[in-house]
Amino acid sequence: MDPILVVSPHLDDAVLSAGTFLDSWPGATVLTVFAGRPSTAVTTPFDAHSGFTDSGAAMAARLDEDDRALAVMKSRPVRGVWLDEQYDRHRDSDAERASIQQGIAELARQIGATKLIGPLGIVHPDHVLVAEAVAGVAKETELETWCYEDLPNRVLFPETVPEALERWRSAGFAPALDFLGAGDASRKEEAFGCYTSQLWALDRHACLVPERFWRQWTA
């Protein structure tokens, strides 16, 4: 199958939001942007609630969980070096966005991607930042670009979907809801179960719903 690049903000988003699609496209490359580890271990409320003593233990476990989930999807993981917002509250968003955009574009070139798939950018600031970087790559490369509606936030906060779409329109795109293809939903459910440390925070019913994709046409 043609090489494609799926961009995931965190170590679960590609599976949660595009898992049935990934099942239909074995061999897809999944870039997780915020997979870096803080140089000095820290403890955040989310990590503590997940049962971890610090960020080092949390990231080690989550990388393992994501490896297992992407193996179910037959996807190839690539890890970014950028830090999750919970570890980097004072980031320079403009500089981070430019750096992420450069990283996505370089990986797309390396694998010869024919499609670029990323988040629509719903609610979470990390998702918005990655969506903006994906939009920058789409403009720069003219790659065929699609966005998945971020789950579970699309279900939990449906009123925010128009806001995300308006950001894409403001960036010069004409988003069109379209069908991208889907595989076996039961394998997505199996992959979902790999994220054991995060199941307490994930609404199962809001994650295991039909996926929706927007084709980002240049306006």
Residues sharing a CB contact under 8 Å with residue 27, sequence separation 6 or more, in sequence order: 1, 3, 74, 75, 76
Kindly report the pTM of this predicted structure: 0.96
CATH code: domain of residue 165: 3.40.50.10320
- Give the number of other CB atoms < 10 A from CB of residue 161: 19
Tens of pLDDT along 7-30?
Answer: 999 999 999 999 999 999 999 999
Q: What is the pLDDT of residue 89?
A: 82
**What is the domain range of residue 129?**
4-218
Is residue 203's pLDDT more than 90? yes
Q: Which of 37, 50, 69 is nearest to 191 (CA)?
A: 69
Helices 161-170 and 125-141: angle between axes, nearest 10 degrees: 30
Domain count, the chain: 1
pLDDT of amino acid 182:
82
Query: Across all residues in the chain, what is the average pLDDT?
Result: 95
For residue 147, give the nearest of 161, 159, 158 by alpha carbon.
161
Task: Report the pLDDT value the prediction gives residue 196, as an integer from 0 to 100.
Answer: 96
pLDDT digits (tens, 9 = 90+) for 129-185: 999 999 999 999 989 999 999 999 999 999 999 999 999 999 999 999 998 878 889
